[in-house]
Structure 1
Amino acid sequence: MVPKTHAYDALNDFFKAHENIVVEIEILPSALVSDDTLLLQDGINIGITKKVLAQAYLKARTVFFLQDGSSPSEALAFEATRIMLLFDSEHLTAANFRKRRLVSVQNEATGASANSLVAAAQQELQFLNSILTSPLHRQSKSPTLWHHRYWLFSNILLNGTPSSSFNVLNVSAIKAEFDAVFKAGEQHPKNYYAWQYARRLIDILVSALRKPKDQSSQVQIDIQAIINASSMRVKDWCLRHPSDTSGWSFLLFMLRYVDALPTRTDIVSNVLDLTIAFRWQHESLWVFVRTVLSNSAILVDGQDLFVERLYKYENQRDSYTAPASAALRWIETNKTADP
């Protein structure tokens, strides 16, 4: 059996050496790794067996509970939480310890020392990216880790310090957040917790739009432009994963906040075009189609034109058009002007 200390040291050293970048972690079958091998590393990618990870976790847990509450060794406890959360993504005590440490840094960061908070927040974001977007089936759908990410974004990244704040309501920052959601959605299909995080992200953007305009109108316009552009990216992701009901549900949610009617129309048109062209049968896709085509508040005057296109497709009367027939019956029964 691999000594717990060796397993812990190897994994902890890897995390410390790459704390400022996103790494990829994969759990390997024991049959692929010799008994005396701790990690398989290829650049910023590592593979570790469940047995070695379990040994590292046992050591990390010992380190954490010995050091927790002792300020001189707080750094050791903080390091241990990375391995604890990698092994057990629902370890609330470890996640809350990381929150407390970031709050402590935030409270002490003023003026020139605000850079320390920037560095700590960015390292935390990279750590979360590494776990949430790696091919780790359970971790990528962890409600604890996604809630921790939301807490980090809304309490640290968004608010910054009393004297200054991070500018995270911009194109590149929001794009990075959606990139994490997209990748996590690929690692764990129908990833409800990842898409729920995306909903809360949109809520933050919408709240920023509704605040009193104490900033320039250009800032307000930019936030709405971010929402509109993000909706197109979500649509593209959904079309690459047409069976993912969580993605379609989020796209439907997001359409309510797209202020440009041409953008909403283009999204629906593109989805309907490809659905018909490829004769897709995915139930989650057809739920999206029937819901959006029954809602005149989304398409305004263009609703009837889309329904007519669907009738033309249904008239082909083959086995592939059965979902269209069911969708049309649903639309006739549930037409509404409310979102």
Structure 2
Amino acid sequence: MGPLDNQVQLIQKLAEILSHPPVSLEILPGGLEEWTSTDLVEESRRPTVEFPFIYLEGNLGIPKKVLYKLYMVAVHLFKLSRSISDLCWASTSVILLTNPAHQTALNAHKRLVLNGFLEPVKELEFTDLLFRGASECMKQSILWDYRRWLINRLYPVRLSMSNPNSTFRLWTTSGDLQPLPDIPPSVIIEEFNVIRKSCEGYPRNYHAWTHHYFVVDVLGVQLATQSTSSRIYYDILANEYNSLRLWINHHISDYSAMYHLCGLGRLLHDLELNCIHLRSGTLFPVVEDISLAEHALTLITSYPSHESLWMYLRGAIGLLPEGQRREVLQRIESLAPKSYYYRQFVAWAQLASIL
């Protein structure tokens, strides 16, 4: 067997491992030589030319130099392979792991899904693995777009607002008014988990937060149109609201998270005012009883020099009744009367007629 044949087999082996998602994936520094001479735990299989990966208890490590060599071969194989074949799937899987911005390889995966060669559920698992395994994958917009495309394929039943001018749709932009997929609660929860992990690995991940926008939009339509399972969806929304507020406590520079939290606050307020079928028993107390403005003030007290927190306060104060806004200004003045960000905030509030 020649060196090229060995590389082709390795590509197929790696693709097979990726198709049964490992518990974790990591691109390791160095090449095969460095890792064959590295002391590993006894249970770990030492990498060899025939299997140059580290695979232990479902955790996969791929030396970077090994992956790059396989990538060059995979690109060549992709050009030679038929559009619907095992070789096309294997080569494009390795290509996307190495270069997630490879639009042609991603289009090949779409064709494989459309032809029934790949299952949308397995592809969702594959994209999740890519997000967890490499920060370069987490920040690629085309992978997040692909994930939404898969969800739309997997859940073809559409939900839409009977009134497109409904206040619920204030969460969205006018371009997002098309019907949305009817996604089960468990899948919505999983999407929130995928987003959170990606934002941990790649801070201020704009594309992950864009996906968050889509998922919350689905939740809002579910709540507005389904009276039988409203409690389940409301609990998910309320838990996300509470979780996101806790997230911000540890990510005080992530303004995208703060922007989305304020959006959730508005959505919850709209739901409470307009969804008659939600007004039952102890539904709304699921959300922790503390205003976002109070939350922002608490963080500003501890971290007054973080501009993102002052921007957070701008969004949060708009959710307060008019009478409470001046109280917020008075509290800030006592905390940071000479602060540059305080002066900026007051100037903005006066210009926007907030105070």
Q: TM-score, normalised by structure 1?
A: 0.76
CA contact (8 A) 1:255 1:264 kept: no
Contact 1:4 1:55 in 2 (8 A): no
Q: Give CA deviations for 1:307-332 in whole Å, capped at 9, x if unaligned.
A: 443233235x6xxx553443234323
1:248 partnered with 2:250: no
Residue 198 of structure 1: which of 201, 209, 212 is its match? Answer: 212
Q: Specify which of 309, 312, 320 is matched with residue 288 of structure 1.
A: 312
- Unaligned residue ranges in structure 2 (runs of 5+): 38-47, 159-180, 273-283
Q: Does 1:131 align with 2:130?
A: yes
**Aligned to 1:26, what secondary structure does the other structure show?**
strand
Q: Cα distance, 1:270 vs. partner?
A: 5.6
What is the match of residue 328 of structure 1?
346
Map residues 45-124 of structure 1 onto 2, 5 A cutoff: 45-69=59-83, 71=84, 74-105=85-116, 120-124=119-123
- Give SS of 1:198's match: helix
> What is the rounded CA distance, in whole Å, between the counterparts of 1:22 and 1:323 in structure 2?
46
Q: Which amino acid aligns with 1:122?
A: V
**CA deviations over 1:84-126 (Å, ceiling 9, x no partner):** 1011101112212222222233xxxxxxxxxx98xx2221111
Change (3 A) 1:240 1:12: farther
Secondary structure of the corresponding residue to residue 33 of structure 1 = helix
1:300 aligns with 2:321: yes
Code of the residue aligned with 2:292 in structure 1: it is: V
Q: How many residues align?
A: 303
Name the amino acid aligned to 1:159.
Answer: P
| Alpha-carbon shift at residue 175 of structure 1 (Å) | 1.9
Which structure has the highest helix share of the two? 1
**Which residue of structure 2 aligns with residue 25 of structure 1?**
25
SS at match of 1:218: coil
SS of 1:90's equivalent in the other structure is coil
Corresponding residue for 1:309? 331
CA displacement at 1:145 relative to structure 2: 0.7
Contact 1:258–1:264, Cα closer than 8 Å, also in 2: no
Q: Which runs of 5+ in 1 are unaligned?
A: 106-115
Aligned-CA RMSD value: 3.2
Distance 2:238 2:334 in 1: 30
Whichever residue aligns with residue 126 of structure 1, its letter is E
Cα distance change on mapping 1:5 and 1:44 into 2, 3 Å: farther
Q: Mark the CA change 1:222 to 1:307 in structure 2 (over 3 Å): closer, same or farther.
A: farther
- 1:273 is displaced (CA, Å) by 5.1
Tell me if the contact between 1:133 and 1:140 (Cα under 8 Å) persists in the aligned partners.
yes
Work out the CA distance in 1 between the residues paired with 2:79 and 2:98.
16
Which residue pairs with 2:244 in the alignment?
Answer: 234
* Contact 1:7/1:56 (8 A) holds in 2: yes
Report the TM-score when normalising by structure 2.
0.73
Letter paired with 1:188: Y
Deviations 1:135-186 (A, max 9, x none): x221110111111111111x2232279xxxx97331x322211111111111
Q: Identify the residue that residue 142 of structure 1 maps to in structure 2.
A: 140
